[in-house]
Amino acid sequence: MPSPRPGRETVPSIRDVAAAAGVSRQTVSRVLNASPKVSADTRRTVMEVIERLQYRPNRVARALGTGRARGVTVVTSDTMLYGYASTLQGIEEAARVEGLAVGVRVVESDREGDVRNAADYVSDPSAGGVIVIAFDAAGIAVLHALPESLPAAAAIEPGVRGVARPAICLDEQQASAEATRHLLALGHRTVHHVAIPSESEHSGRQAGWRRALAEAGAAVPPVVPAGWDVRSAYEAGRVLAADPGVTAILCGNDDIALAVRRALFEAGKDVPGDVSIVGFDGVPGSEYWTPALTTVEMDFAGLGRATVAAVLAELAGAPQPAVSLTPPRLVVRESTAPPRA
């Protein structure tokens, strides 16, 4: 970057960032727009240079012309569960690069009063652009309640209908189908499923599980529901542990897998000797569990970054950027094996 003139501060440009990072201007632009065409190492280098030079893209200034505050407000029902927290992390990272402040509004439930309070809060111009993490009924209800004129985008579960604004999701249906096929290929006659509350028969993880079983001509066992709390997952695991016909379980997330594993252990069931378990989400540290958990890794941080690019386009009145997220990936570890003869 050129040296500033005495007594005058020079504002860095995208050319300065590109030169300092040793990449092209187009590459810097792709990083700013959360494009998947940039390698992780290059993205990290560019973001470090952006932070060091304190570069702020012009499109943020253009967004201010809407009368909204220079920031984004995230509406979510949870800030601790891995998928929510990782999506929020991606939002914060991308917003920081753009020079945007990030606020969080927690919606307590999908009751009408809670939903209306959250929608009213973010309707104020001080909220800036709005991002809804709509992984559950409360988030989806807020998304539907937002005024049509409000610049907003959402990270959403697949299969949600009637959303008339940018909504981005990960293809978890295909991932759950792949996980189910993995267990069937090991020789298990069917796969049982402990579901998270946001699932439905025709979308997301449960739909992929059902599809894979149907395609294989395998029996589709009743879904065992669990809440977001590990206690309910543990109770679901106890139910499955008492059934001698259960040899493979697909869990709605990794926390559920951990609780189910505990229930199986208490029942004297070995994993994977007696029962194979697959988790979902790719919680950091799951590879160090005993046994190491086979799971589906989900790019929630990338999802969060993509929603920032989407809401910035809404603020600027620009076309929505192309979205191509890192697809979910099955990671096979020690918790799955062929059933005992």
Average pLDDT over residues 126-130: 92
- The pair of structure tokens assigned to 250 is 């697909």
Short-list 101, 162, 166, CA closest to 132: 166
What is the Cα–Cα distance from 80 to 65, expressed in whole angstroms? 34
Query: E-assigned strands of 3-61?
Result: none
Is residue 283 pLDDT above 60, yes or no? yes
Indicate the helix (H) or strand (E) that contains 232: helix 230-241
Q: Per-residue pLDDT tens for 104-124?
A: 999 999 999 999 999 999 998
3-state secondary structure at position 294: strand
> Is 80 exceeded by the pLDDT of residue 337?
yes
Tell me the average pLDDT of the chain. 90
pTM recorded for the entire structure: 0.79
How does pLDDT run across 156-198, given as a tens digit for each residue? Answer: 988 788 888 999 999 999 999 999 999 999 999 999 999 998 8
Q: Between residues 240 and 30, which one has the greater pLDDT?
A: 240
Q: What is the pLDDT of residue 62?
A: 44
Contact call for residues 158 and 172 (beta carbons, < 8 A): yes
Phi and psi torsions of 192, nearest 5°: -85, 160
Which strands sit side by side in the sheet containing 192-195, from one edge to the other? 224-225, 192-195, 248-251, 276-278
pLDDT: which is higher, 36 or 118: 118
Closest-CA residue to 59 (of 27, 88, 22, 33): 33
Residues 112 and 134: beta-carbon distance below 8 Å = no
CATH class, 71-170+300-316 region: alpha beta
Q: Do domains 14-57 and 172-297 have the same CATH topology?
A: no
Instruction: Give the per-residue pLDDT at 162.
Output: 83
**pLDDT higher than threshold 90 for residue 297:** yes
Domain 172-297: which topology? Rossmann fold (3.40.50)
Q: What is the pLDDT of residues 4-14, one digit of tens each?
A: 434 445 678 88
For range 51-66, the mean pLDDT: 61
Angle in degrees, 0-180, between the axes of helices 137-145 and 112-123, rounded to the nearest 10? 50
pLDDT over 90 percentage in the chain: 70
State residue 5's pLDDT score. Answer: 39
Judged against a pLDDT cut of 70, whether residue 33 lies above it is answered with: no
| Architecture of the domain whose range is 14-57 | Orthogonal Bundle (1.10)
pLDDT single digits (tens) 85-109? 999 999 999 999 988 999 999 999 9
Q: How far apart are CA 140 and CA 155, in angstroms?
A: 10
Task: Give the sign of the dihedral formed by CA 231, CA 236, CA 242, CA 245.
Answer: negative
Flag whether pLDDT at 72 surpasses 80: yes
Q: What is the pLDDT of residue 35?
A: 67
> Which pLDDT band holds residue 43 (cuts at 50, 70, 90)?
confident
| Structural domain spans, the chain | 14-57, 71-170+300-316, 172-297
